[in-house]
Amino acid sequence: MVYWILKQIFIGPPVRLLFRPWTKGMANVPRRGAAILASNHLSFSDSIFLPLMVRRPVVFLAKQEYFTGRGLKGRLTAAFFKYTNQLPMDRSGGEASSASLEAGAQILRGGGLLGIYPEGTRSPDGRLYRGKVGVARLALVNRVPVLPVAMIGTEKVQPIGQRLPSIRRVGVIVGRPMDFSEFYDRAEDRDVQREVVNRIMRQIQQLSAQEYVDAYAADVKARLAAEAADRAKRPPADA
Span 122-146, average pLDDT? 97
Instruction: Please check whether residue 154 is in contact with residue 49, taking contact to mean a CB–CB distance below 8 angstroms.
Output: yes
What burial class does residue 148 get, using C-beta atoms within 10 Å of its C-beta: 0-12 exposed, 13-18 middle, 19+ buried?
buried
* Beta bridge partners of residue 87, listed in sequence order: 61
**CA-angle at 135, arms to 130 and 137, nearest 5°:** 120
Instruction: Please check whether residue 50 is in contact with residue 39, taking contact to mean a CB–CB distance below 8 angstroms.
Output: yes
Residue 239 has pLDDT above 80, yes or no: no
Q: How many CB atoms lie within 10 A of CB 231?
A: 8
pLDDT digits (tens, 9 = 90+) for 29-69: 999 999 999 999 999 889 889 999 999 999 988 766 666 67
- Give me the pLDDT at residue 191, please: 98
CA–centroid distance for 181 within its chain: 23
Q: pLDDT band at residue 119, thresholds of 50, 70 and 90?
A: very high
Cα(231)–Cα(116) distance, rounded to whole angstroms? 34
pLDDT digits (tens, 9 = 90+) for 59-112: 988 766 666 677 876 776 666 666 677 776 665 655 656 777 888 899 999 999
Residue 9 has pLDDT above 80, yes or no: no
Cα(46)–Cα(193) distance, rounded to whole angstroms? 25
Pairing of strands 146-152, 86-89: unpaired
| Average pLDDT taken over every residue of the chain | 88
Q: Where are the beta strands (DSSP E) in the chain?
A: 22-24, 35-39, 58-63, 86-89, 113-116, 128-129, 146-152, 171-174, 212-213
- Give me the pLDDT at residue 91, please: 58
Four-residue CA torsion sign, 214, 86, 112, 170: negative
Cα(21)–Cα(152) distance, rounded to whole angstroms? 10
pLDDT digits (tens, 9 = 90+) for 219-233: 999 999 898 888 888
CA–centroid distance for 148 within its chain: 11
| Secondary element (H or E) of residue 71 | helix 71-83
> Phi/psi at 73 (nearest 5 deg)?
-60, -45
Residue 205 has pLDDT above 60, yes or no: yes
Cα(92)–Cα(153) distance, rounded to whole angstroms? 29
